């Protein structure tokens, strides 16, 4: 942000200028002391300039040190030590070199004052940097409370700058001392916020301990120099009178000390935390494998590696089904001794056979050597952990983990491995579900194509002719169905119309339907009579239809020149007819067995042909059982009677309108629920017209 | 669909209760495919509580018809509801299979 940049630039400028001015003022004051002459310098100016300097340095650091978001803690500590802490060692050098320097080289009474100002400058810089580095650590993973605590702490510390500004000697005011003591207590309390240490790994902790020690040493050195010259008569200023410096120094010291102690004491537990973190990561990896589209093998591999990591197993193998899927040789280890493997397998098998309920539970044995026969194997292993990979539906396999330690698996580790196994099973099942749904998607696509193909098999238009009017309707209950109809123009004045229904629904029915159409077109080239056709079709179908399937069909041959229709019904629904001469609606009651039921020559006895002379305006309704067996919510069937009634009410309409009326009525009855394929053909005969 | 059977001497009576559709006809097929059924000379099918029969259900009877005939086992249906009988009739099965109205009649025919 540009604003931050301005603050940084301005504070850098005021800091540098105020420090130089401070130095000048101090030197003038010292000159006053030495010469006894009055000049432009004044002691109060010291206070003002030092406050400006302190404020500038602190504000600069406030902008410079950003609030921590990453888990990197050693580099800010390193920065603090190098940029701030080394100042203390510089002062040490100056201090050691001062007597010699004073005697042999410069020998000026002002040297000590200059030295003291350099110390002050370095100290304030170090304090500012340390103060805001600690803020960064305190506010890591902050809560609302910690944030507001810090805000007040900062305000109170800054307020203490008022003391030198107002030129008050705080030692003379009890309440001020009390306030400062309270502030000291507050900084002690702020030093408790050591959350960041929990996120350090063991190596990082060691690095932090080292750096913190160095920083503490810097603080001690600084404090040492500061108090060395306190109340010194040789100096004209004394910064120990500035409570801000003292408070900041105390806080920096306390926090560094607290961090050092906490790091030290958390050293022994950090392994546990690291393990927990690793377990958590493994868990995440396992659950993320689905999104990354990984295979089952990869999931097993992650489980295997995670489990070995979590338990520190010396040898392990993963059995999927009956086979060893992975063993330690797959993960940069040695393959397990096959004799030991055999022995352990036999042991597990024995246990499972003794008690079937143990099949799906974890098995732990901490003293394998107590089992007779195991010692002879000379195996180094003593503990066994067996974790099953099971879901409520199926058992995938077992994970075997071996340790050289006796009683090497504690309950905590076991439950971690168990949750790995559970997560693995979940992941595997999700993977399979996903693959299945992809497969289903593909099937659906193919069914859609099948549905389209089948739709094209049923003719949409009949030859438009002046002899009769025909209207068709066809609806499959599933994507593909077993209903069919077709026509074939036999000669100029004769047309064959077939309707049929294959038993069953779906794909197999659709196949047989297509077959039946082929038979129709093939056989009718020979211009067979309807009953002859049925006999031949039955014989053809007997060779290809499975035993439980059959086909019902009716074949009509309409001769418009002769004004007659002859037909045969092979187990298909009765034909509904309206005779306009006698003004009657009725069903043709003919006998005829379905195709594929009797598969020998005796079928010829079971099929009959009927001839009927039609009159103009007669109506013939042919349909499949999906129409008359349509059901309403009470499971009543639509029935032949209602269909007959519908025709008796609509016979005077055009074929198209009769069809629509019937279909609407059927749909009303069944509330548009389709149980079976429905097909309906309405044929209305017309006046005989001369052939042109 | 519930399928029960009672056995008396040489006769097995299978009673069908419910709807014989595509899924339940599998059960019936298992029942009729059981080799032990061939030990009986007569199979009576009680259709009193058979409310509906689909083409798949008919297919099961049709597929076993020839086998029973070859083994000279009599297959007799009785107590059939009107609408179910209508389905048999439309398909022409009434001329191929023996369908009678009562159990007594079925027993009489079976013992002929």
Q: Which residue has the higher pLDDT, A1 or B41?
A: B41
**Cα–Cα–Cα angle for A666, A669, A674, rounded to 5 degrees:** 65
- Average pLDDT, stretch A15-22? 88
Sign of the Cα torsion A530, A531, A537, A541 reads positive
What are the CA-CA distances from residue B13 to residues B9, B42, B57, B75, B103 (Å)?
11, 8, 18, 10, 10
Provide the mean pLDDT of chain A.
Answer: 86
pTM of the model: 0.57
The minimum CA-CA distance between A581 and chain B, rounded to whole Å, is 27
- Under 8 Å between Cβ of B55 and A500: no
B29: contact with A, CB 8 A cutoff: yes
pLDDT at A325 over 80: no
Nearest to A594 among B63, B83, B92 (CB): B92
Q: Which tops the pLDDT comparison, A582 or A509?
A: A582
What is the ipTM, given to two decimal places? 0.91
Distance CA A178, CA A212 (A): 30
Q: What is A338-374 written as a DSSP string?
A: HHHHHHHHHHHHHHHHH-GGGGGS-EEES-GGGSTTT
Domains of chain B plus CATH, in order, are 1-109 (3.30.750.24)
Average pLDDT over residues A102-109: 70
More confident residue, A65 or B40: B40
Burial (Cβ within 10 Å: 0-12, 13-18, ≥19) of residue A352:
middle
The pLDDT, as a whole number, for residue A363 is 87
Pairing state between β B98-100 and B74-78: parallel
Q: Is the pLDDT reported for residue A659 higher than 70? A: yes
**What's the rounded mean pLDDT across residues A103-118?**
76
Chain A nearest C-alpha distance from B17 (Å): 16
* Beta strands per DSSP E along A290-330: 315-320, 323-327
Choose from A478, A501, A503 for mutation: most chain B CBs within 10 A: A503
Looking at per-residue pLDDT, the higher value among A68 and A16 belongs to A16
A108 within 8 A of A98, measured Cβ to Cβ: no
Which residue among B59, B66, B91 sits closest to A549, beta carbon to beta carbon?
B59
CB contact residues (below 8 A), chain A span 535-594, against chain B: 547-550, 552, 570-574, 591-594
* Residue A293: predicted pLDDT: 63
Over residues A16-23, the mean pLDDT reads 88
What's the CA gap between A128 and A132, in Å, rounded?
A: 6
B91–A contact, CB cutoff 8 A: yes
* Residue A291 CB partners (closer than 8 Å, separation 6+): none
pLDDT at A520 over 80: yes
Backbone φ and ψ for A514, nearest 5 degrees, come out as: -65, -40
**CB atoms A548 and B56 under 8 Å:** yes
Q: Which residue has the higher pLDDT, A332 or A434?
A: A434
Interval A92-114 mean pLDDT: 77
Tokens at residue B65, please? Answer: 């018809």
- Is the CB of B92 less than 8 angstroms away from the CB of A549? no
Residue-wise pLDDT for A43-52, tens only, equals 778 888 888 8
pLDDT at A488: 92
Q: In the predicted model, is pLDDT for residue A690 greater than 60?
A: no
Give A488 to chain B, closest Cα distance, Å. 25
pLDDT band of A523, cuts 50, 70, 90: very high
Residues B64-84 have pLDDT tens digits of 988 898 889 999 999 999 989
In this prediction, what percent of chain A has a pLDDT beyond 90? 31
Q: How do beta strands A551-559 and A494-502 pair?
A: antiparallel
Q: Say what the pLDDT of residue A292 is.
A: 67
- Bridge pairing between strands A383-390 and A363-365: antiparallel
Average pLDDT of the residues in A291-309: 82
> In the structure encoding, which two tokens stand for residue A327, read together?
């063993």
Residue A607: pLDDT band with limits 50, 70, 90: very high
The answer to whether B66 contacts A573, with C-beta atoms less than 8 Å apart, is: no
Beta bridge partner(s), residue A65: none
Is pLDDT larger for residue B56 or for residue A330?
A: B56
Distance from CA of A547 to the nearest CA of B (A): 5
Write out residues 61-90 of B within 8 Å (CB-CB) of A.
62-63, 65-66, 83, 90
Q: Is the pLDDT of residue A689 over 70?
A: no
- pLDDT of A97 > 90? The answer is no
Q: Is the model's pLDDT at A231 over the cut of 80?
A: no
Give residue A615's pLDDT.
92
Report the distance separating Cα A164 and Cα A555, nearest Å: 117
Nearest to A593 among B59, B63, B96 (CB): B96
Query: Do residue A597 and residue B62 have CB atoms under 8 angstroms apart?
Result: yes
pLDDT-based confidence at residue B38 (cuts at 50, 70, 90): confident
Which residue's entry shows tokens 């045969």?
A: A568
> Does residue A352 carry a pLDDT above 60?
yes
* Other Cβ atoms within 10 Å of A366 Cβ, number: 16
> What is the pLDDT, as a whole number, of residue A506?
75
Q: Which residues of B touch A594 (CB under 8 A)?
A: 91-93
Tell me the domains of chain A and their CATH numbers: 2-265 (no CATH), 271-277+295-415 (3.30.450.40), 456-504+530-685 (3.60.40.10)
Output the six-digit token pair for B14: 């299978």
pLDDT value, residue A557: 95
A571 → closest Cβ in B59, B83, B91: B91
In this prediction, residue A37 has a pLDDT band, given cuts at 50, 70 and 90, of low
The least confident of A41-50, A169-178, A450-459, A548-557 is: A169-178
Pairing state between β B42-53 and B11-20? parallel
pLDDT tens-digit readout, B85-101: 999 999 999 988 999 99
Contact A503 B56 (CB under 8 A): yes
* pLDDT of res. A315: 86
Q: B59: which chain A residues are within 8 Å (Cβ-Cβ)?
A: 503-504, 547-550
CA of B88: which chain A residue's CA is closest? Answer: A571
The partner residue sitting opposite A593, judged by closest CB among B22, B66, B92, is: B92
Is residue A407 predicted with pLDDT exceeding 90?
no
pLDDT reported for residue A68: 61
- Spell out the long-range contacts of A194-199 with Cβ–Cβ below 8 A and sequence spacing 24 or more: A194/A137, A194/A258, A194/A259, A194/A262, A195/A140, A195/A141, A196/A68, A196/A73, A196/A137, A196/A140, A196/A141, A197/A259, A197/A262, A197/A263, A197/A266, A198/A266, A198/A273, A199/A71, A199/A73, A199/A140, A199/A141
* pLDDT bucket at A210, cuts 50 / 70 / 90: very high
Contacts of A606 in chain B (CB under 8 A): 92, 95-96
């Amino acid at each position: 942000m540009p604003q931050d940049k301005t603050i940084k630039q301005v504070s850098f400028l005021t800091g540098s200028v105020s420090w130089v001015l401070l130095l000048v003022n101090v030197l003038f004051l010292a000159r006053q002391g030495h010469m006894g002459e009055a000049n432009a310098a004044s002691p109060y100016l010291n206070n003002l300039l030092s406050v400006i300097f302190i404020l500038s340095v602190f504000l600069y650091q406030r902008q410079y040190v950003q609030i921590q978001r990453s888990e990197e803690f050693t580099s800010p500590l390193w920065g603090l030590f190098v940029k701030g802490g080394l100042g203390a060692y510089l002062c040490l050098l100056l201090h050691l070199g001062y007597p010699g320097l004073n005697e042999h080289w410069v020998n000026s009474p002002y040297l000590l004052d200059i030295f003291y100002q350099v110390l002050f400058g370095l100290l304030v810089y170090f304090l500012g940097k340390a103060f805001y580095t600690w803020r960064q650590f305190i506010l890591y993973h902050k809560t609302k409370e910690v944030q507001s605590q810090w805000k007040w702490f900062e305000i109170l510390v800054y307020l203490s700058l008022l003391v030198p500004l107002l030129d008050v000697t705080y030692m003379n005011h009890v309440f001020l001392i009390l306030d400062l003591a309270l502030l000291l207590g507050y900084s002690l309390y702020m030093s408790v916020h050591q959350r960041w240490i929990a996120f350090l790994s063991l190596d990082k902790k060691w690095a932090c301990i080292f750096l913190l020690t160095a920083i503490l040493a810097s603080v001690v050195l600084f404090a040492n120099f500061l108090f060395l010259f306190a109340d010194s008569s040789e100096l004209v200023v004394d910064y120990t009178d500035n409570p801000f410096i003292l408070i900041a120094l105390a806080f920096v010291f306390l926090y560094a000390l607290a961090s050092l102690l906490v790091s030290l004491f958390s050293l022994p537990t950090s392994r546990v935390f690291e393990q927990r973190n690793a377990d958590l990561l493994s868990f995440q990896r396992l659950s993320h494998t689905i999104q990354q589209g990984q295979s089952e093998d990869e999931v097993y591999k992650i489980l295997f590696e995670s489990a070995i990591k979590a338990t520190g197993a010396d040898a392990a193998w993963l059995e999927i089904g009956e086979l060893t899927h992975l063993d330690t040789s797959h993960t940069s280890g040695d393959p397990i001794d096959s004799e030991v493997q055999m022995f352990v397998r036999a042991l597990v098998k024995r246990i499972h056979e003794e008690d079937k309920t143990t099949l799906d539970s974890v098995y732990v044995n901490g003293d394998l050597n107590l089992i007779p026969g195991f010692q002879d194997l000379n195996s180094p292993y003593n503990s066994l952990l067996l974790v099953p990979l099971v879901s409520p539906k199926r058992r995938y396999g077992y994970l075997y983990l071996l340790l050289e330690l006796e009683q090497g698996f504690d309950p905590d580790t076991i439950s971690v491995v168990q949750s790995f196994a559970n997560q693995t099973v979940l992941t595997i099942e999700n993977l399979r579900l996903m693959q299945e749904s992809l497969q289903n998607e593909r099937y659906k696509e193919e069914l859609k194509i099948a549905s389209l193909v089948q739709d094209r098999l049923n003719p949409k238009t009949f030859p438009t002719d002046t002899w009769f009017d025909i209207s068709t309707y066809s609806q499959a209950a599933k994507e593909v169905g077993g209903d069919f109809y077709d026509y074939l123009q036999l000669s100029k004045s004769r047309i064959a119309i077939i309707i049929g229904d294959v038993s069953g629904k779906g794909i197999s029915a659709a196949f047989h339907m297509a077959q039946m159409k082929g038979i129709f077109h093939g056989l009718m080239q020979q211009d067979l009579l309807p009953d002859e056709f049925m006999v031949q079709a039955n014989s053809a179908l007997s060779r290809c239809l499975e035993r439980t399937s059959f086909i019902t069909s009716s074949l009509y041959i309409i001769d418009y020149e002769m004004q007659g229709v002859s037909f045969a019904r092979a187990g298909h629904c009765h034909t509904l007819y309206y005779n306009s001469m006698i003004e009657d609606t009725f069903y043709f009651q003919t006998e005829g067995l379905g195709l594929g039921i009797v598969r020998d020559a005796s079928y010829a006895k079971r099929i009959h042909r009927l001839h009927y002379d039609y009159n103009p305006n007669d109506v013939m309704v042919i349909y499949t059982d999906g129409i008359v067996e349509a059901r309403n919510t009470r499971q009543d069937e639509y029935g032949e009677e209602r269909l007959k009634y519908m025709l008796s009410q609509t016979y005077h309409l055009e074929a198209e309108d009769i069809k629509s009326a019937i279909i609407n009525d059927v749909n009303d009855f069944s509330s548009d629920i389709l149980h079976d394929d429905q097909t309906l053909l309405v044929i209305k005969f017309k006046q005989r017209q001369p052939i042109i | 669909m519930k399928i029960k059977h009672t056995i008396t001497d040489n006769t097995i009576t299978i009673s069908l209760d419910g709807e014989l559709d595509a899924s339940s006809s599998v059960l019936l097929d298992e029942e009729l495919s059981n080799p032990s059924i061939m030990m009986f000379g007569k199979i009576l099918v009680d259709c009193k509580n058979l409310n509906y029969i689909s083409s798949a259900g008919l297919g099961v009877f049709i597929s076993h018809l020839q086998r029973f005939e070859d083994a000279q086992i009599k297959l007799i249906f009785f107590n059939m509801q009107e609408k179910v009988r209508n389905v048999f009739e439309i398909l022409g099965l009434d001329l191929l299979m023996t369908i009678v109205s009562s159990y007594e009649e079925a027993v009489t025919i079976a013992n002929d």
